[in-house]
Chains A and B, each alone.
Chain A
Amino acid sequence: MTDYTIFYKSQLSVVGNWSKENEWDLFISAYNSSKRVSDVFAKVRAGHKSWLLFPEYNYAETEYSGLNNYYAGAYTNEADYILGYVGTLNLNLSRIRICIDLTGFIRPYQLFLTKLLWERGVKRFDALYSEPNVYKEREKTKFSSGAGGKVRQVAGFEGAHSANTSNDMLIIGSGYDDELIARVSYYKDAARKIQIFGLPSLRADMYQENELRAQLAEESLGPSLSYFAPANDPFVTASVLSEITRALEKQKQITNLYLSPLASKAQVLGFSLFHYLEGKQRPTSIIYPFRPHYSRETTEGLSRIWKYTVEV
Chain B
Amino acid sequence: MNTFDGNPFNLTKANDYSDKQILNYWVDVPGENGFAGMIKPTSPMPIILLGGKGSGKTHLMRYCSYEIQKLRWPAKPTLDSIKTDRYLGVYMRCEGLNADRFNEKGQQSEIWSAIFEYYMELYLAELLLSHVDDFFNTSDAWQKSQTKLCRAILALFDTPQTANINTLKQVIGLLVSLRKKIDIQVNNCAISRRLNIPITVTRSRLIFGIPRLLSELTPLQDLQFLYLIDELENFNEQQQKYIFTLVRERRGPSSFRIGSRLYGIRTYSTFSANEELKEGSEYEKLLLDERLRDEPKRYSEFAKRLLASRIKGVSLSPSSEDLVASAVKSLPQMFEERNDENFWEAETTPVVSKFGEGEFPYFKKLRQNLIHAARAGRLRDVHSEQQIDRIIQKLKVDKYSLLEKVNVLLLYQDWSQNKELLDAASTISNLCRQFAERRPKSGRYFETYDHFAQDLLAQFFRESNQPQRYCGIDSIIHMSMGLPRHLLIVLKHIYNWAIFNGEEPFKSRPISITSQQKGIFEAAEWFYRDAKNKGQDGSVLQESINRLAELFREVRFSDKPVECSLCSFSVDLSKVNTTTKKYIDLAKKYSLLIDISGGQRDRNSMRVDAKLQLNSLLAPLWDLPIYRRGALPLDPSLADAIFDPGQSENFKRLLNARIVAMNAPFEYKRKLSRTAQRELFTH
Contact = CB atoms under 8 A, between A and B. Distances in A.
Contacts of A222: 11-13, 15-16
A118 B100 CA distance: 24
Contacts of B98: 152-153, 158, 161, 285, 287
Contacts of B10: 223
Contact of A182 (B101, B106, B530, B537): B530
B183 A188 contact: no
A85 interface: no
Contacts of A218: 3
A161 B96 contact: yes
Given A168-B96, A256-B96, A156 B187 contact: yes
B186 A155 contact: no
Nearest to A283: B183
Interface string A164-189: 11101000000000010011001111
B670 interface: no
Nearest to A256: B96
A163 B127 contact: yes
A163 B96 contact: yes
Nearest to B180: A160
B677 to A, nearest CB: 53
A224 to B, nearest CB: 10
A147 B536 contact: yes
B184 A156 contact: no
A243 interface: no
A55 interface: no
Given A116-B191, A216-B529, A218-B3, A153 B100 contact: yes
B190 A79 contact: yes
A183 B533 contact: yes
Contacts of B15: 189-190, 222
A187 B526 CA distance: 18
Interface residues of B, number: 48
A219 B531 CA distance: 13
Contacts of B532: 179
Contacts of A219: 12, 489, 526, 530
A220 B95 contact: no
A156 B188 CA distance: 7
Contacts of B536: 147-149
Which residue among B12, B180, B530 has the maximum number of chain A CB atoms within 10 Å of its CB?
A: B530
A188 B95 contact: yes
Contacts of A223: 10-11, 16
A119 to B, nearest CB: 5
Interface in A182-208: 182-183, 186-190
A219 B525 CA distance: 11
A80 interface: yes
A183 B536 CA distance: 12
B293 interface: no
Contacts of A80: 104, 106
A73 interface: no
A165 B65 CA distance: 13
Given A182-B530, A189-B13, A152 B101 contact: yes
Nearest to A78: B190
B100 A119 contact: no
A186 B533 contact: yes
B651 interface: no
B116 interface: no
Contact of A165 (B96, B126, B183, B537): B96
A98 B13 CA distance: 47
B529 to A, nearest CB: 7
B93 interface: yes
B183 A79 contact: no
A155 B540 contact: no
Contacts of A189: 13, 15, 95, 231
Contacts of A253: none
Nearest to A258: B98
B184 A190 contact: no
A161 B538 contact: no
Contacts of B83: none
Given A147-B536, A147-B539, A160-B184, A152 B100 contact: yes
B19 interface: yes
Contacts of A285: 98
Contacts of A287: 98
A155 B234 CA distance: 18
A128 to B, nearest CB: 25
A195 B532 CA distance: 21
Contacts of B526: 219
Contact of B95 (A147, A158, A187): A187
B105 interface: yes
Interface string B81-114: 0000000000011011010110011100000000
B123 interface: yes
Contact of B530 (A112, A156, A165, A220): A220
Contacts of B231: 189
B191 A156 contact: yes
A69 interface: no
A123 interface: no
A85 B24 CA distance: 55
A155 B190 contact: yes
Contacts of B3: 218
Interface in A103-129: 112, 115-116, 119
Interface string A198-234: 0000000000000000011011101100000000000
A32 to B, nearest CB: 23
Contacts of B535: 148
A77 interface: yes
A43 interface: no
A159 B183 CA distance: 7
A95 interface: no
A222 B526 CA distance: 13
A156 B16 contact: no
B215 to A, nearest CB: 23
Nearest to A219: B526
A218 to B, nearest CB: 7
A157 to B, nearest CB: 8
Which residue among A165, A215, A287 has the maximum number of chain B CB atoms within 10 Å of its CB?
A: A165
29 contacts: A79-B104, A83-B191, A112-B190, A115-B191, A119-B191, A147-B539, A150-B100, A152-B100, A155-B191, A158-B183, A158-B190, A159-B187, A161-B98, A161-B183, A163-B96, A163-B127, A165-B93, A182-B530, A187-B95, A189-B231, A219-B12, A219-B489, A219-B530, A220-B530, A222-B11, A222-B13, A222-B16, A223-B16, A256-B96
Q: Which 5 A-B pairs have the closest CB atoms?
A: A160-B183, A155-B190, A152-B100, A190-B15, A148-B536
Interface of B: 2-3, 10-13, 15-16, 19, 67, 92-93, 95-96, 98, 100-101, 104-106, 123, 126-127, 130, 176, 179-180, 183-184, 186-187, 190-191, 193, 231, 234, 489, 526, 529-530, 532-533, 535-540
Given A158-B183, A216-B529, 18 more contacts: A79-B105, A116-B191, A147-B536, A147-B540, A152-B101, A153-B101, A155-B105, A156-B190, A158-B190, A159-B183, A160-B179, A161-B183, A163-B126, A165-B93, A189-B13, A190-B96, A222-B16, A256-B96
Interface of A: 77, 79-80, 83, 112, 115-116, 119, 147-150, 152-153, 155-156, 158-161, 163-166, 168, 179, 182-183, 186-190, 215-216, 218-220, 222-223, 256, 285, 287
